A and B are shown apart, each in its own frame.
Chain A
Amino acid sequence: MAADRRPSARKRNAGERAWAVAFASPYLLHLVALAAWPLLASLYFSMTDYDLVSSPKFVGFDNFARMFSDGLFWRTLGNTAYFAVLFVPTQTALALGLAIALNQRLRGMALFRAAYFVPVVSSWVVVAYVADAVFNPQTGLANQVLDFFGLPAANWLQDPALVIPTLAGVAVWKGVGYMMVLFLAGLQAIPEERYEAAKIDGASAWNRFRYITMPGISGTTFLVLVLTSIETLQSFEQVFVMTDGGPHGASELTVLHLYRQGFQFFQMGYASAIAWVLFVLVLALTMVQFRLQRRWVHYA
């Protein structure tokens, strides 16, 4: 009897495995076509000269050497870093502040949350026109407000010194609702009893924030910081749509530079080299953040 049952059990297991592989097959294909291929191919193309017409010509590290002497590339890295330094902390702090303000039973809470989410679901093309209504130097709201307070008008996106701060401001406006919802989830995961116990012990509001809320949401804060910095290093659509890198390259970000090299000048090899450098930067930044988290993130 036992000898009879075993082969059929084995057959059934093999059948189950076949089903499982069939179910997982879309992702197996994904791993090959959309993960392994791009990683290896871009590494290969980064060491070639490839204009899409003639076949790729191997040039070793020429593209990387060129990048190091490409002043524009360094400038775009500087612009990207400047944008990130303004954008990431501002958005994180504002999102946290809003989440704390919203983390209570307020009437019309869903409505407020919806208002903060409208920019999140808008494409950058829509946001470009919305931002124009605000930052157009002649007809925009922002200069009207400045004028009302007797302050001089600014040129916002058309001023090389102001363009990155203005872009960062618009990016915060667009993204803060999303990060706020992440923080809300983090805040709601902190057990209510901790606050009650602290109140009984007579802890001040500041101390409750400092010693309960802050450690409680440090995990979320970490996630938000990692996500936004990865995203910011790769920022493309906003500048592509709003400034096209101008004025005079003041908002030319690295991925926009990559896009031009690849899809306007058809230098796929050079574009791939830029992509790999950015990839390594993103990885390094993520690893540094993961390393630093041990110092300040508390998982309760």
Chain B
Amino acid sequence: MRKTVSYVLVTAGALVMLVPFVAALSNSLKSFAQYIQVPPTWIPDPIQWDNYVEVWRRTPFGLYLVNSLVIAILAVIGNVLTSAMVGHALARMRLPGRQALLTMALGTMMLPTVITIVPNFLLFRSLGWLDTLLPLIAPYWLATPIGIFLMRQTFLGIPKDFEEAAGLDGANPWQVFWRIHLPLAKPALATLAVFTFTTSWKAVLEPTIYLTSPENYTLPVGVLSLKGQFVGNDQLVTAAAMMSLLPMLVVFILAQRYFVRGTMSAGIKG
């Protein structure tokens, strides 16, 4: 009985989640005449697969995609590597002022992004980084509080014997970190990787502020800019938006368990 109620509830909820996507997908396959037709048709007739080809032909979608991918991949590598290093220092090394640093990491986690918008813009401007991809990548190479907490927690859970055995062989701390601790932390690294990828992929505010040339746009900013250019061709912009979700969906489907784990262990966005 309770299970039936749950099923009905959860299925209804899942439909509410997915039907709008299906409706948008349907919009993306319509001709413009059908796109604005009242009352709307649910199944486009004919189904215009060409809309997707048109997006590639008439917009720099490929460039946006490459920019988004470059940023996301470099952000993932940077955040995973540096957060693991800092987490390792906090969990396993004789770091002076360890407790203070941990407290400060908690403090920066609560630091609202709104306070950083203007100063970071000025910082990247003085570095000559405006209208490059660097402001969207570099911050991830300075470790993120959430990554530090996740990695610290993971490294704390690895038994001491491993490193003692390695220490006897005269390994230096980097080798202990790289060869022994890092491979043991793979699930946490994967969790942090998908988390970083998602954050970077979804970002709208930062690319809007830092990027001005269309050839540097990421997918969200690029698709948004199409809105103004393709008045009377909204079905194409919808198709572009749908396509911009695709790489994210692939990552999500392949790494679903890490998304759930990431949410549960960290419980904090950003």
User: B-contacting residues of A (Cβ < 8 Å)?
Assistant: 13, 16-17, 19-21, 23-24, 26-27, 29-31, 33-35, 37-39, 41-42, 45, 52, 97-98, 101-102, 104, 106, 110-119, 121-126, 128-134, 138-141, 144, 173, 177-178, 181-182, 184-185, 223, 227, 230-231, 233-234, 236-237, 240-241, 255, 258-259, 262-263, 268, 271-272, 275-276, 278-279, 282, 286
10 other contacts beyond A34-B139, A121-B252, A178-B269, with CB at 8 A cut-off? A13-B94, A16-B93, A20-B96, A21-B95, A27-B82, A27-B148, A37-B119, A38-B115, A106-B7, A237-B205
Residue B105 lies at the interface, judged by CB distance under 8 Å to chain A? yes
* Residues of B contacting A102 in the complex (Cβ-Cβ under 8 angstroms): 6, 10
**Distance A45 CA – B264 CA, assembled complex (angstroms):** 38
Are the CB atoms of A130 and B7 closer together than 8 Å?
Answer: no
Given the known interface contacts A16-B93, A184-B264, A258-B117, the answer about A33 and B123 at a Cβ–Cβ threshold of 8 Å is yes
**Which residues of B33-61 are within 8 A (CB) of A?**
35-40
Interface of B is mostly: helix
Q: From the candidates B88, B118, B204, B248, name the one contacting A121 in the complex (CB within 8 A).
A: B248
Are the CB atoms of A275 and B23 closer together than 8 Å?
Answer: no
Are the CB atoms of B26 and A237 closer together than 8 Å?
Answer: no
**Which residues of B127-146 are within 8 A (CB) of A?**
139, 141-143
15 residue pairs from A and B, CB less than 8 Å apart: A19-B173, A24-B89, A34-B116, A37-B119, A38-B118, A38-B119, A41-B118, A41-B123, A101-B6, A111-B14, A129-B24, A141-B20, A185-B267, A237-B204, A240-B205
Which of chain A's residues has its CB closest to B174's CB? A19
Given the known interface contacts A181-B264, A227-B268, the answer about A275 and B204 at a Cβ–Cβ threshold of 8 Å is no
A243 to chain B, nearest CB (A): 13
**Which listed segment binds A: B106-114, B158-166, B185-193?**
B106-114
* Residues of A contacting B94 in the complex (Cβ-Cβ under 8 angstroms): 13, 16-17, 20
B266 to chain A, nearest CB (A): 10
Residue B67 lies at the interface, judged by CB distance under 8 Å to chain A? no
Q: From the candidates A20, A110, A184, A279, name the one contacting B93 in the complex (CB within 8 A).
A: A20
* Residues of A contacting B96 in the complex (Cβ-Cβ under 8 angstroms): 17, 20-21
**Distance A276 CA – B112 CA, assembled complex (angstroms):** 10
Choose among B7, B177, B224, B241 the residue with the greatest number of A CB atoms under 10 Å from its CB: B241
Interface size of B in residues (CB-CB distance below 8 Å): 96
Are the CB atoms of B6 and A123 closer together than 8 Å?
Answer: no
**Distance A115 CA – B21 CA, assembled complex (angstroms):** 11
* Residues of B contacting A110 in the complex (Cβ-Cβ under 8 angstroms): 256
Which of chain A's residues has its CB closest to B194's CB? A121
* Residues of B contacting A41 in the complex (Cβ-Cβ under 8 angstroms): 118-119, 122-123
Are the CB atoms of B39 and A27 closer together than 8 Å?
Answer: no
* Residues of B contacting A125 in the complex (Cβ-Cβ under 8 angstroms): 204, 219-220, 223-224, 241, 244
**Which residues of B230-254 are within 8 A (CB) of A?**
237-238, 241-242, 244-245, 248-249, 252-253
